[in-house]
Amino acid sequence: MPPTRSILLVDDDPALCEAIAFALETEDYSVRAYGSGEAVLGEAARLQYDCAVIDYRLPGVDGLELLARLRTRGLRCPVIIITSNPSARMRHQAENAGACLVEKPLLRDSLIDAIDALVASPGKDGP
């Protein structure tokens, strides 16, 4: 049995965060969930994950700013930014940040498929 892969999840919608965590846990991922960027930044959180899933529209610090701050603290795993109706500018910013973009609503297994692809791809350690 392969070791459990770990996911950092940041989403301010408690119901969505719980649903994503549950779905990932049923796929044998270990999930550490936070409700805000400030919660992650305010805690001496471990930054060794196989993948991070961060909502773009967080209160306070947005998902891309959170990603930038986490990178300076040592986060090196692949990152998925989740959002609805991303603008072309936001898509460009996510690409420049080295993040994959997955649009909400998260239909079928789109998020899990994206995580599996990133975690399985050698050399996808982030910028």
Cα separation, 57 vs 84, in Å, equals 9
Tens of pLDDT, residues 88-120: 999 999 999 999 999 887 766 788 888 988 987
Whole-number pLDDT of residue 2: 60
Whole-number pLDDT of residue 111: 86
- Residue 7's alpha-carbon distances to 14, 55, 86, 88, in angstroms, are 17, 13, 23, 27
pLDDT mean for each 10 residues of the chain (127 residues): 82 95 92 94 81 95 95 93 94 95 79 87 48
Cα separation, 12 vs 37, in Å, equals 9
3-state secondary structure of 87: coil
Whole-number pLDDT of residue 109: 77
Average pLDDT over the chain reads: 88
Whole-number pLDDT of residue 32: 94
Q: Cα 120 to chain center, whole Å?
A: 16
